[in-house]
């Protein structure tokens, strides 16, 4: 079994790391460059930086922030937010990002996934999906969780893989920020039916939530924010806990 990855997520708004609950009640928690460097020292496997307002406000994610991160962080990091076309990708990768993640733009123009995969390779493309369980199904949302679409989670994830996505980053809007655990059943369905890695996001509150999402949810990686930002769980403590439960980690 491949080692499972622990990925702190830093949501960025106006150049600062922020955190909310169910995509609402957002507050600032720190400098994204300093926090990323600290996570790297603590043993995080990767980082994800998401500009949570870039798409909504029709702004590009500034390459100079990515460049600063690359100068201070020595582990792989993925950058997303405001990527609307192929030409938006090159400045981010040139600035030092290891991968890019696309969300709203991919739903609105699925061909963008093909274009990035053809130009840079699938390993550079992470398709992020924000979904909410309602009306007995998982519906995809865009624009930072503001707009409901007619797309369903599982069909869109399969299409994204077919178009060249190298990974799926699934965030359950129902679980985000609640600290009640991940959406393990939905994550397991994605992991079972896709041939690419699935990153679970939304709901981490205890170490056992990671045990569950790697076991019951069969996730390849688990992403979390507030428990790391507010020092509720240490990354090395978490990895030791996972090892005790026979879950392979780096």
- 220: annotated active-site residue: no
| Rounded average pLDDT over 125-136 | 97
Q: How many residues does the chain have?
A: 250
Q: Which secondary-structure segment (H or E) carries 127?
A: strand 125-134
Q: What is the pLDDT of residue 58?
A: 47
5-244: CATH number: 3.20.20.70
Q: Which of 51, 130, 212, 220 is catalytic?
A: 130
The torsion angles phi and psi of 154, rounded to 5 degrees, stand at: -70, -40
239 to 38, 157, 169, 211, 221: CA distances (angstroms): 16, 28, 21, 10, 12
Cα 4 from Cα 156, distance rounded (Å) = 24
Looking at residue 218, the DSSP 8-state letter turns out to be -
Q: Mean pLDDT check: name the lowest of 14-18, 80-84, 165-169, 191-195.
A: 14-18
Burial of 51 (0-12, 13-18, 19+ CB in 10 A): buried
Q: Is residue 11 among the annotated active site residues? A: yes
Residue of 11, 88, 176, 212 marked active site:
11
| Residue 82 pLDDT class (50, 70, 90 cuts) | confident
Q: What is the pTM of this model?
A: 0.93
State pLDDT tens for residues 35-60. 999 999 999 999 999 887 765 554 55
Q: Which of 10-14, 181-185, 221-225 has the lowest mean pLDDT?
A: 10-14
Q: Given this model, what pLDDT does residue 22 score?
A: 52
For β-strands 147-152 and 137-142, DSSP reports them as antiparallel
Residue closest to 84 by CA, chosen among 109, 62, 57, 105: 105
Alpha carbon distance 52, 146 (integer Å): 11
Structure-token match 């920020």, residue found: 177
Percent of the chain with pLDDT over 90: 78
Euclidean distance between CA atoms 28 and 102, whole angstroms: 23
Q: Which residue has the tokens 């980082």?
A: 47
Q: What is the mean pLDDT of the chain?
A: 92
Q: Residue written as tokens 């399969």?
A: 158
> CA dist 232 to 13, 68, 205, 237, Å?
22, 27, 8, 11
What would the pLDDT profile of 192-235 be if each residue is shown by its tens digit? 999 999 999 999 999 999 999 999 999 999 999 989 999 999 99
Contact 139, 97 (CB under 8 A): no
Averaged pLDDT, 142-169 = 96
- Say if residue 98's pLDDT is above 80: yes
At residue 30's C-alpha, the angle toward residues 24 and 76, to 5°, is 95
């Amino acid at each position: 079994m491949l080692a499972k990855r622990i990925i702190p997520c830093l949501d960025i708004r106006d150049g600062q790391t922020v955190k909310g609950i169910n995509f609402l009640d957002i507050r600032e928690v720190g400098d994204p460059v300093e926090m990323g460097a600290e996570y790297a020292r603590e043993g995080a496997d990767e980082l994800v930086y998401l500009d949570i307002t870039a798409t909504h406000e029709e702004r590009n994610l500034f390459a100079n922030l990515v460049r600063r991160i690359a100068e201070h962080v020595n582990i792989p990091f993925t950058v997303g937010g405001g990527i609307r076309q192929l030409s938006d990708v090159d400045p981010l990768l040139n600035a030092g990002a290891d991968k890019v993640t696309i969300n709203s733009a991919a739903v609105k123009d699925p061909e963008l996934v093909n274009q990035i995969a053809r130009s840079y390779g699938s390993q550079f493309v992470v398709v992020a999906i924000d979904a909410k369980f309602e009306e007995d199904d998982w519906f995809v949302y865009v624009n930072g969780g503001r707009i409901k679409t007619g797309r369903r989670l599982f069909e869109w994830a399969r299409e994204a893989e077919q178009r060249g996505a190298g990974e799926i980053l699934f965030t359950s809007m129902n679980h985000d920020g609640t600290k009640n655990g991940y959406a393990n059943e939905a994550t397991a369905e994605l992991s079972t039916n896709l041939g690419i890695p699935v990153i679970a996001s939304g709901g981490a509150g205890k170490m056992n939530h990671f045990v569950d999402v790697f076991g019951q949810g069969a996730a390849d990686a688990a992403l979390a924010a507030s428990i790391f930002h507010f020092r509720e769980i240490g990354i090395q403590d978490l990895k030791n806990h996972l090892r005790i439960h026979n879950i392979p980690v780096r």
